[in-house]
Structure formats: C-alpha cells, structure tokens
Amino acid sequence: MDAARNAGGSTLFEAARLFVLLAGGALAAMVQLAILPSLTRIAAVYAGAGSGAIDGASIAQLVTTVAAPTIVLGAPIVGWLAGRVSMRLVLLVSALLFAVSGAAGAVAPDIWTMLLSRMVLGLASAGLGTVSMGFINDYYTTEKRDRLIGWYALLGSGGALVVLIVAGALAEIDWRAPFALYLIGLPIFALALPTIRDVPRVETAGAPAGQGSVAAATGYLLLIVLISIVMYMATIQGPFLLQARGIDSPTLQAVMADVTTVGAMSGAYLFGFLRPRLGFSAILFILLAMLGIGTVGFGLAGNMIAIAVFAWASGFGAGLMTPLSQSAILNAVPPAAATRALGLSFSCIFLGQFLHPFILAPLRAAAGIQGAFIWVGGIMLLASLAVLLWRMLAGPRAVPSA
C-alpha cells in the first residue's frame, strides 16, 4: 500500500493531489509555449528597446529563451533547498511565483522587467517540476510511481498541444492575454495547501535528511544531456530541413512539430506498461533505436507522409527519455538525495536543449542539414546496438535493473 493511500484521503482528495503533482510537466511546457503566438506582437512592441543588431525579433526570441538558463542553473539549487528545508514549502512558493511572474509579463512596463519576470518564471518552473516529481517518489510505491512518472511526461506533452491552441486563441484577442494562462499557478497553490505534506526522512548511517549522495546518478545525468541534444532534432532542425526541400508552409512545419509531440505522448503513455515488464537496458534500446530510426528517416524521407511517420518515431523515443531516466535515478540514489538528483535531471534536460544548436552548427556546416540528420540518427542506431550487445554479453543479472 502506497503512502498516498496511507494518508487516508478521499477519492476527491487523492484526485486533487494527483492534479497538483502531475501538473508540473504541463506547467514546464507553458514557460515557452504560452507566449509563442504573441511573439510577433512582442517584437513590434519592443522594437525600439534594442540597439544595433538587437532588433525587435531578437528581443522577442530572448523573451522566450531567457528562462532556460535559469532552469538549468536553478533546478539543482531548488532540489538542494527542498531537501534541506521543506519540499512542501518549495512547492507552494514555486506555485505562487509561477502565477505572479508569469502574469507579470502582461503588465511589464519595459523590456528589463519583462526579462526579469521570465527568469523568475523559469526558476518557479524548475521548483514545480523538481518537487512534484519528488513527492511522487515519496507518496507512491515503485510500480505505481513509474506509471505516474509516465503520466507526468504524457501530460507534459499533451499540455504543450493544449497550451498552443488556447494561447493562439487568446493572442487573437490581445497579445497580452496568453500571459493570463500562467495564473493556473494559483489553483495549484490552493489545492496543494490541504493535500501536500512533507514525508519525514529517516536519518541513517550518519547521513541526515537531504544529505545523501547523488554520485550514483552521474551516469544517468550524462545520458540525459546526450539524449536531450538529439531528441530536439525534429522540432529544432526539422523546419530547416523542410525549408531546404521547398516546404516553406508554416502550417506544415507546425504539423510536423505536432506529430512529434504526439509521438512523445505515445512513448510516455506506453512507459507505464513497458516498465514493469522490461528492464532499464531494454527500454533504453527501444528509446535509442526509435530516435535513430526517426532521425535518419526524417532526413531521407521524400514525402510528407513518410516525414510524419519518422517524426512520430523520433518523438516516441523522446517520450521514453524523461520517465526512464527519472525512474532510474530514483532507484539509484538514496531517498535523502532524491530531490537534488531530480533537480539535476531537470537541469540536464534543458542543458541538452541549450547545447543542441552549438553541437549541430559545425555538423550542419560540414555535412549539410540532411547529412546532419543522417549522422545523428546513425550514431543513435549504433548506440542502440551497443546497448543490445551489452545486454546480451553481460546477461540479465549484470545489467542494471534501475
């Protein structure tokens, strides 16, 4: 029986708690996506704020991306703070900051206030994502925890689609209107107050609560960075490949991004069924193989239907990454280090996204955009074969079951 059931709440109480904990993935997606439909208007409003080569378009793009470095740097700090002070307190403060800093963009008097509010929003998102996953680990047994981690990733991907649709409709009314979506932090705060409680940590072997080592997660954290660099191929590099093939329609390019997201939702959803039946290495093989097939196929496909199929395959592999890596990390580190390890994993995902264009730029220059897809996908296929060979040679017992 899991800790959540031991808490003795009603079905409604449990539903409210799950809403709070599973919302973190969708809220993380909102950080950038909620204001995408307003980008051109933001560029026009702040066109005079830049100087020299910094025009309105550059400023608008900065508004969307400035939160990412805050997440990369802030997530480990938030994880450490949650372990030392109170996970519940960090969750409550993060929910309030998410609402206030997110909505502040609608009334920001100048670009500097806008950018500062977006940086605070990134920190709040890191807090919500890290701590909500930590509570899932605290409240539920391993099997149910892994299913919920899959649902967390699923709702994050699904939330991205919903946010884009709603934000687009709101942007038609006024460019400031989508900022109101961030006010969802307020009901999260209100529901968390009665439903979320800290779970006491057991102090063992001279390691007080919040002081366990995260060293066992190092390999998984590195893996997250490497896979994150690759899993954005279809969404970040895909439009450029389509443009090179004469497909300039923004609608078609958006459809490819949506298909990739649907693939990610499929992978996240199936993780809950795969995890109890397959070990870490088997799912890692599927993840790398799907990323490889999807990326190579996207680069070679000659028509939109084939491109869509391979975009889905790439998204499927990406959808497995977050639940698999976080489940493995939680199995590897002691409970006292869980929130710090989760904070680092959250940071590593965004670090991979941040590094992606810097890694791909020289490869694109050397091999062209199509060649970049083939090379990156080929590396993933080789990596999947290496994992399969490792599993076969090492034997089931020698392979980590994390």
The predicted structure's pLDDT at residue 210:
46
- Quote the pLDDT of residue 402: 54
**Phi then psi for 16, rounded to 5 degrees?**
-65, -40
Question: What 3 state SS string does 278-336 have?
Answer: CCHHHHHHHHHHHHHHHHHHHHHCCCHHHHHHHHHHHHHHHHHHHHHHHHHHHHHCCHH
* Res 209 pLDDT > 60: no
- Report the pLDDT value the prediction gives residue 257, as an integer from 0 to 100: 78
Q: What is the DSSP string of 371-391?
A: HHHHHHHHHHHHHHHHHHHHH
- Between CA 305 and CA 247 the distance in angstroms is 13
Query: Which are the contacts of 319, defined by CB distance < 8 A and separation ≥ 6?
Result: 153, 154, 157, 263, 264, 265, 266, 267, 268, 269, 271
Higher pLDDT, 237 or 48: 237
Residue spans of the domains in the chain: they are 10-144+174-198, 214-395
Residue 200: other Cβ atoms inside 10 A = 8
Write the pLDDT tens digit of every residue in 321-352.
989 998 899 888 888 888 888 889 888 988 88
Say what the pLDDT of residue 4 is. Answer: 45
Q: Quick check: 279 and 401 in contact, CB under 8 A?
A: yes
Is 214-395 a domain of CATH 1.20.1250.20? yes
Q: Return the exposure string of 155-164: e unless at least 16 CB atoms fall within 10 Å of the residue's CB, then b.
A: bbbbbbbebb
pLDDT digits (tens, 9 = 90+) for 211-251: 568 888 999 999 999 999 998 888 778 878 887 888 777 67
Q: What would the mean pLDDT of 360-365 be, rounded to a whole number? A: 88
Tell me what pLDDT residue 287 has.
96
Any idea which of 10-14, 204-208, 333-337, 345-349 has the lowest mean pLDDT?
204-208
pLDDT (mean) for 151-168: 83
In the CATH scheme, what architecture does the domain 10-144+174-198 have?
Up-down Bundle (1.20)
What's the one-letter identity of residue 21?
A: L
**pLDDT category of residue 207 using cuts at 50, 70 and 90:** very low
Tokens of 391: 């599993």
Query: Residues 6 or more apart from 392 whose CB is under 8 A from it?
Result: none
